Structure 1
Amino acid sequence: IKGNLSSKCEKVSIDKIATNDYLLLPSRYALSEDMKESIKKFNEYKSSKTLSSIAYMYRAQATKNEGDGKEYYEVGASDINEYGFINAPEKTLLLTPQSSSLKNKLQKNDIIFSIKGTVGKVAFIDKAVDNWIVNQSFVIIRVTDEAYTPEYVFKQLTSKVTKDYIALHAAGNVIKSFPIDKLKDFRVQDPTKDSLFAAKEKTQRQIEILKAIEDLKKELSEI
């Protein structure tokens, strides 16, 4: 190691490694200045609740094409754009009314959070969908506390503070994973009237802009 030793290394005890489930990920022990600032902000939330206390949470199970029944679209990480919205999933499968895969069915205002593979990818279901299901990489989050709104929770889960929290607790080298318990225990800052309004306005504006872009693309293709 060359240069400033303190900026390259972190001396940690066996006890600290044990509290991190013996994972030797640098991000667990040597935090960047940006991440330190994010964790500080996270810890300074004056009032907050755990995500599991304000929302129904369901870990989606593996889906299986039954070859019969109604056609469904399966949402995967690649269907989510960089802003956290889904235009139209491409993968299809057939499911009967008795299929256990229907537990993965999505509805308007759901939020999905990837805990395997593309860890931390979040999407907001902004429209009524009758035939969308999500694959087993995701947790479905359905806000139940009336003091919060789906748009507000969505914005909280896509903030920089949250992204740094995810990076700190994610595990795995080839296939990343994020412990569902950490997601359940994630603390959502209590909203104010202004923050609820701002989250709704920003989300709606994003949806409007994305729709306008799609309309322009369609018009361009027809010229």
Structure 2
Amino acid sequence: MRSSSLGVIIAVKDEAAAVLADAAYQWQKLSAQIYFSKPRNIYLNVCGIGKANAAFALGQIFDKAAEFIMFGTSGGLGQEKIGSLYLCSEFVEHDMSATTLGVEPGVTPFSGMSSAVIACPLQDTLDQITKICQTENLELHTGRTLSGDQFIHSKELADSKSALFGGQLCDMESAAVAKVCQHYQKPFCAVRYITDNADHNAPASWQENVKTSADYFNRILLKL
């Protein structure tokens, strides 16, 4: 059992399927979306899609855990290969735009943010995940995730976002969780699996690849 609780956030049940099905956790269902594993000392919140749902889910378990990890699927913004696994410690809220107030894209005005990049990882956890993936023969990459409620659905939009923020992946939840964790100085990182490219084929590709992603997430979490 972990000495301190770990908070895990996953957006949808398809991504969490293997974790929820594994008997090793002995999950107790605390509410419609919150689960607790006493043997592993893990709180899991299956939050739903989008920044608001992710931030709300974090708030529900925020005082119960010492650090947080998000597992989930992502779109690749450039030449990232479908099926690639990424460990992410940098995040940008790509649909935050208040440039008329004199701040850079991605920066929330009047928040004290000096950069669009949000980062609050625990290096020990990053190292553990890296070693686990080596043991499990899972090829692991690192990259910056761009998050927002705007769905990136075209190559042109993906290229412009990637060029502006230096990102490799996109999702709809990670930056919101990272933003709160950074503000309150709690460690956060994300493990993302690229199921599609940010284009019109994304929904079909996601359905085909999410089962593999769920298996990878479980293999990592079991040993973390």
TM bin, normalised by shorter chain, reads under 0.3
User: With structure 2 as the length reference, what TM-score do the two structures score?
Assistant: 0.24
Q: Which has the higher contact order (CA 8 A, sep 6+)?
A: 2
Structure with larger Rg: 1
Structure 1 length-normalised TM:
0.24
More strand by share: 2
